Amino acid sequence: MTIDSAAFERYRRSPNARTTLPRLLLGTAIVILFWAATTVAVLLGGIYAFFAWQAGAAAPSGVQGFLASPLGILTALASFAGIWIGLWIAMRWVHGEKLSALLGVSRRVSRSGFLKGLIAVLITSLISEILLYLLRPEIARGPISLSSWLLFAIPIVALTWLQTSSEEVLFRGYLLRGLANRFRSPFIWALLPALLFTALHWSPSSSAAINACVLASIAAFALLQTVVVYATGNLGAALGAHLGNNLTGFLLISHQESYNSFALFNARPLEEPGWTTADAVLIAFIGIACSLLTIMLLLHPRSPLRVAAELPDEANSA
């Protein structure tokens, strides 16, 4: 299985002359600033609404209880709007480009790539859940009723799309494209955004072993996303894959106690004590193996889900 770099080379060369390293750093700072400001604003608003709904009485678990509540989860997802705002400002006023330039050379999301990425990850997520069940067969029906689940499905999908798309456009679009334009080495343009993305998933409530296994799985997923962007020169497949991955955890089977309010089923939370080092190693192996399988589904020449590169004659029709 070989990957033609022609599509990515066009994507790498697409930034204008104003995409310098200082401007890239300034743009990143703007994104972080607006992300932080939006997070504070929506969290304060959500907390106020939460305690007002509780008739002014503090919940037993305080702010942590809010963050784990359905309203808290919706609020946390809404905070990712700050990334989109920051990216628009950075692209418009720092680089003098349209935000759509980050999506690919065609400046549009490849619809076929998005759909294939989504399907591929849903398949490998099913395999992952089966393997995790064999490791720890502890799955219980979640507290949410089917009618409530159907009611919240649309806003959860919309807000999950807001979250996953903002992360992809930032880490696999803005940072990857900008760094690749300035540096030839993938140890810079591919590794740095992947490390930043992975580091954001550190959980202080989990053990060191579980954190290590989760970060290894996230790093493998970040590699998967980078490889498909490299192969296609478009964010379509990465956007679909990320959305499928997160929707599985939010709506179907949750492995995190703090994000299980809307899931139909809850597996044993990774934050709970009692996981052994052997469990952590197996969890990491499952995550890495499923990411590699996803890459095969999306890039193998004989795969029905193989994604197409955005080549010159396809840039206007992708």
Band the pLDDT of 54: cuts 50, 70, 90: low
Token pair 């806003």 is found at 155
Whether residue 152 is contained in a domain is answered as: yes
Whether residue 216 is contained in a domain is answered as: yes
Q: Which region holds residue 175: left if phi is over 0, alpha if psi is between -120 and 50, else beta? A: alpha
pLDDT for the residue numbered 69: 75
Whether residue 67 is contained in a domain is answered as: no
**pTM summary value:** 0.91
pLDDT for the residue numbered 137: 86
Host domain of residue 303:
6-16+97-314
Q: What is the mean pLDDT of residues 31-39?
A: 96
Distance CA 214, CA 197 (A): 13
pLDDT digits (tens, 9 = 90+) for 174-223: 999 999 999 999 999 999 999 999 999 888 777 888 889 999 999 999 99
Whether residue 53 is contained in a domain is answered as: no
> Does residue 99 register a pLDDT over 90?
yes
Distance CA 37, CA 31 (A): 10
Q: Which region holds residue 107: left if phi is over 0, alpha if psi is between -120 and 50, else beta? A: left
Q: What is the mean pLDDT of residues 301-318?
A: 75
Whether residue 59 is contained in a domain is answered as: no
pLDDT digits (tens, 9 = 90+) for 111-129: 999 999 999 999 999 999 9
Based on the structure, what is the number of domains in the chain? 1
- 253 forms beta bridges with 265
Distance CA 36, CA 30 (A): 10
Whether residue 206 is contained in a domain is answered as: yes
Whether residue 74 is contained in a domain is answered as: no
Min mean pLDDT across 37-41, 49-53, 163-167, 168-172 is at 49-53
pLDDT for the residue numbered 318: 44
- 234 forms beta bridges with 104
